[in-house]
Amino acid sequence: MSQERDADRSPALPRTERWHTRVTLKEIAAHAGVSRSTVSLVMQESPLVAETTRQRVRESAETLGYVYNRGAATLRSARTATVGVIVHDVANPFFGALVAGIDEVLEPAGYVPFLANSDDSQERQARFLSRLREQRVDALLLCPAEHTPAALIDQLGEWQLPCVQIMRHVGETPLGDYVGADIRRGVGEAVAHLVTLGHRRIALLAGESDHSADRERLDGYRQAMRAAELDANLMLSRGGLSRRAGRERTLALFAQTPAPTALICHNDLVALGALLALRHLGLHPGIDCAVVGIDDVEEATLTEPALTSIATQPRACGRAAAELALTRIASPLGAPRQIVLPATLHVRETTAVPPVDAKESS
């Protein structure tokens, strides 16, 4: 039977001819020994076709040089099997883990993510939103740029584009679907941990923006400092969020008298920069000054000493956001959901009991 089917297959076109000839589904069907409708189902990734047949059709399509016309198929369908993803700092390892989590959910479901980096610019974000709308993405995963107005969520609703906000949200409270981590509680846990160790001069190296993620860090810090009867404004530093900025801001803090005995940093990149500054000053992280990061990226466990950090679970947040997006694609009129994952303090070597003289002078 297999020999007869092989004999009926059309020979593959020479490479020079394939450049100028559009391969049809009928030709693939003849080559694979199946019907044209079966080939069509395979191209549409239908589960109705047996895996052995599906593989044979794909091999024939590859041999013949066939390229699936996704655009034409999209015109015949209400969906494109694509999801837009806009973040504000694609170079940050946090967002690498976030996008990996998103892809873990979208790929098995047959969806492809389109990734864009807003660089915290509303103008860039608006351009990307316009382009993604033109591409007819089925949903949007958005970490909003700074100062994004709440009206954007209404506009996306008018476009009938499901949107899940990730890690940041517009407005004082999340509007629409949202996935994030309980950073406020995590920062409070970090302050309490440092106070228990005896620290009193605890500095927060915060961002200089006014988006929800910054506000959550500030609120958690201030509430915990007040609960410990400490001045929440004495050592509050606001500025850039890169590794270089973390180094420079830490050096500036240690130019003050008295210097802090503990640092809580907006993210792990700032914390890693703080470790560099302490070494430059001849100080030992975790002994002369405690350091806490936020996000708990992979590098946090690889530093020497290992960095204490608040885990915001970027990969899990990405998975949860992608799952919520798929749910919203299937049920556009479902009630909005807010998913907040715990942010847990992972204590490592950079937090320890402060020096005796630091305790006595606090």
Domain of 155, CATH number, reads: 3.40.50.2300
Nearest-angstrom CA–CA distance, 235 and 258: 10
Per residue in 131-181, pLDDT (tens digit) is 998 888 999 999 998 888 889 988 888 888 999 999 999 888 888 899 999
The residue range of the domain holding 122 is: 82-180+314-340
Asked if residue 167 and residue 195 are part of one domain, the reply reads no
87: in domain: yes
Asked if residue 351 and residue 335 are part of one domain, the reply reads no
Nearest-angstrom CA–CA distance, 200 and 191: 10
Note the helical H segments in the chain: 2-8, 15-18, 25-32, 36-43, 51-64, 70-75, 93-106, 122-134, 151-158, 183-197, 212-227, 243-253, 268-280, 314-330, 356-360
202: in domain: yes
**Residue ranges in the chain modelled with pLDDT below 70:** 1-21, 68-78, 353-362
What pLDDT sits at residue 361? 47
326: in domain: yes
pTM above the 0.85 mark? no
Structural domain count of the chain: 3
Asked if residue 260 and residue 147 are part of one domain, the reply reads no
Q: Which residue has the tokens 């034409």?
A: 72
Return the structure tokens found at 225. 């400092």
Asked if residue 52 and residue 103 are part of one domain, the reply reads no
73: in domain: no
Asked if residue 272 and residue 203 are part of one domain, the reply reads yes
Q: Which residues contact 327 (CB under 8 A, 6 or more apart)?
A: 334
Asked if residue 26 and residue 38 are part of one domain, the reply reads yes
